[in-house]
């Protein structure tokens, strides 16, 4: 459910016309609905209100400070995968003891930063990482709280690029080897074992893979308990999908009931790391048609947003619904067209072979379901300034990230004297 709808033939976010925002901030721009974000947070949290848990928003999906501040208001923590995300999380007011640090490539500087901040725990991805964190905690005179990210070898049935739970993936430690790593961790002077972690992928549309992963973890938890290793936290990661086209992902209530039933009796605090399910359908990308280009084979709608602004279609072949900001009359002719951007790559497209109303130069279109992995994956490729982000609440909007300027593009760059 989202807050984007037509009124008087014009697509609105809440009570704000999107063509008004386009006039005032220019295109392209990202637009988020605050009421939708709140509804999604509450829908995710509702199933767990009676149990001990902590939801840590996956910042990789959307790391704008205003969005993070909203998460803080509702008691959410953060799942971070870089020093930059850790910095932004604390800048937004998220308490360090509600931050989980994931990711396979933590640097020494990032590890030190996280230990000094006092985060909830590191999710360990390799034996060598465990050794480095132990050494750094020793140097800092601290104990580092850790869980091991267990790779359960469960097929999440999602796109291979966002699947993370199979034995062939770079993530986590194989479930068969995890016992050995936990026993090693127990012998380390500067490591505190606090949890066990699992994350099998993103955009999952079935509950079954989650349950299969938890069932495998339960066996490992029991085995380790017999060896004297008892956990405080069970981190089940994120990955719950959303509807982009015709997917039918489980409602958070269904997912929550299945998880609670499966972990019943373990006596552990559950940690969740949702991202897409909260922000995905709460945001869109609005772009303007620059040109129509017709060839004997294709009709191209060239817009001012490119793969540098939204890379998911180019990277995954991902589907995003395309809606005209000004709704065409029912009898308006439609055509099959590719929606493409200005980037010098053949992969620069937002939609291919899509049935659309006939669009003309100057028309505005909305690329739906772009709140997750949209702006966070954007870049300055082709020296294009990154677009602004706008947050709408009722009949008002705020710019929460200013459009970059050309000056921003060269900030930090220097020409050495030898070239002058």
28 touches 374 (CB < 8 A): no
Do residues 46 and 14 both lie within one domain? no
Contacts with 73 (C-beta within 8 Å, 6 or more apart), sequence order: none
Q: For position 405, what pLDDT does the model report?
A: 98
pTM over 0.75: yes
What lies within 8 Å, CB to CB, of 61 at 6+ separation is 275, 276, 278, 279, 280, 371, 372, 373, 376
Closest among 398, 403, 399 to 380, alpha carbons compared: 403
Q: Does residue 144 have a pLDDT over 90?
A: yes
User: How is residue 285 written in tokens?
Assistant: 């990308």
Write the pLDDT tens digit of every residue in 310-346. 999 999 899 999 999 999 887 778 999 999 999 999 9
Per-residue pLDDT reduced to its tens digit, 82-116: 999 999 999 999 999 999 999 999 999 999 999 99
- What pLDDT, on a 0 to 100 scale, did the predictor assign at position 153? 73
In a domain, 302, yes or no: yes
What integer pLDDT is reported at residue 202 of this predicted model? Answer: 67
> If you write DSSP's letter for every residue of 296-338 in order, what string do you get?
SS-EEEEES--TTT--HHHHH-----EEESBPPPTT--EEEEE
pLDDT tens per residue across span 348-402:
999 999 999 999 999 999 999 999 999 999 999 999 999 999 999 999 999 999 9
Looking up residue 316, the CATH number of its domain turns out to be: 2.40.37.10
Domain with 172 in it:
34-276
Would the pLDDT of 170 be above 90?
Answer: no
> Is it the case that residue 58 has pLDDT exceeding 90?
yes
Mean pLDDT across 8-25: 98
**Residue that terminates a domain, selected from 276, 308, 326:** 276
| Residue 339 in tokens | 């929606």
Question: Are 53 and 10 part of one and the same domain?
Answer: no
Collapsed DSSP state (helix, strand, coil) of residue 366: strand
- 344: annotated active-site residue: yes
C-alpha to C-alpha distance for 169 and 152, rounded to whole angstroms: 11
Domain of 145, CATH number, reads 3.20.20.10
Using CA atoms, how far apart are residues 91 and 79, in angstroms rounded to an integer?
14
Q: Find, among 245, 180, 239, 231, the residue nearest to 206 by Cα.
A: 239
- Total domains in the chain come to 2
193 occurs within a structural domain: yes
Instruction: Find the catalytic residue in 13, 31, 198, 344.
Output: 344
Work out the pLDDT band at 155, boundaries 50, 70, 90: low
- The answer to whether the CB of 258 falls within 8 A of the CB of 207 is yes
For range 40-44, the mean pLDDT: 96
> What mean pLDDT is reported for the chain?
92
Q: Tell me: do 333 and 202 sit in the same domain.
A: no
Structure tokens at 274: 């949702």
Cβ atoms 86, 108 nearer than 8 A: no
Helix intervals (H) in 144-207: 175-186
Looking at the fold, whether 263 and 393 belong to one and the same domain comes out as: no
């Amino acid at each position: 459910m989202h807050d984007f709808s037509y009124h008087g033939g014009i697509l609105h976010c809440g009570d704000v016309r999107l063509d008004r925002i386009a006039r005032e901030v220019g295109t392209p721009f990202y637009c988020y609905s605050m009421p939708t974000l709140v509804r999604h947070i509450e829908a995710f949290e509702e199933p767990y209100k009676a149990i001990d848990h902590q939801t840590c928003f996956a910042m990789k999906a959307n790391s704008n400070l205003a969005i993070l501040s909203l998460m803080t208001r509702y008691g959410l923590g953060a799942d971070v995968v870089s020093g930059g995300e850790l910095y932004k999380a604390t800048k937004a007011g998220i308490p360090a003891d509600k931050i989980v640090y994931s990711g396979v490539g933590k640097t020494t500087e990032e590890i030190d930063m996280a230990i000094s901040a006092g985060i909830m725990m590191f999710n360990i991805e390799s034996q060598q990482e465990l050794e480095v964190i132990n050494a750094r905690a020793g140097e800092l005179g601290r104990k580092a709280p850790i869980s091991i990210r267990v790779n359960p070898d469960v097929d999440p049935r999602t796109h291979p690029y966002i699947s993370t739970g199979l034995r062939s993936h770079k993530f986590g430690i194989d479930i068969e080897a995890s016992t050995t790593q936990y026993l090693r961790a127990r012998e380390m002077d500067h490591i505190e074992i606090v949890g066990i972690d699992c994350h099998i992928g993103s955009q999952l549309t079935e509950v079954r893979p989650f349950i299969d992963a938890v069932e495998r973890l339960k066996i490992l938890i029991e085995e380790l308990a017999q060896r004297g290793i008892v956990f405080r936290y069970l981190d089940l990661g994120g990955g719950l999908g959303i509807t982009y086209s015709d997917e039918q992902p489980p409602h958070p209530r269904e997912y929550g009931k299945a998880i609670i039933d499966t972990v019943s009796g373990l006596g552990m605090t559950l940690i969740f790391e949702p991202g897409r399910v909260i922000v995905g359908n709460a945001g869109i990308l609005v772009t303007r048609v620059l040109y129509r280009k017709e060839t004997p084979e294709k009709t191209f709608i060239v817009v001012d947003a490119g793969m540098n602004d939204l890379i998911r279609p180019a990277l995954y072949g991902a589907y995003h619904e395309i809606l005209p900001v000004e709704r065409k009359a029912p009898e308006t002719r439609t055509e099959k067209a590719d929606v493409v951007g200005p980037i010098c790559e053949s992969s620069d497209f937002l939609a291919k072979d899509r049935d659309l109303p006939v669009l003309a130069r100057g028309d505005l279109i909305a690329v739906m379901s772009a709140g997750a992995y949209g702006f966070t994956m954007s870049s300055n490729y082709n020296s294009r300034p990154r677009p602004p982000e706008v947050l709408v609440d009722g009949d008002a909007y705020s710019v929460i990230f200013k459009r970059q300027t050309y000056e921003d593009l060269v900030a930090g760059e220097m020409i050495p004297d030898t070239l002058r």
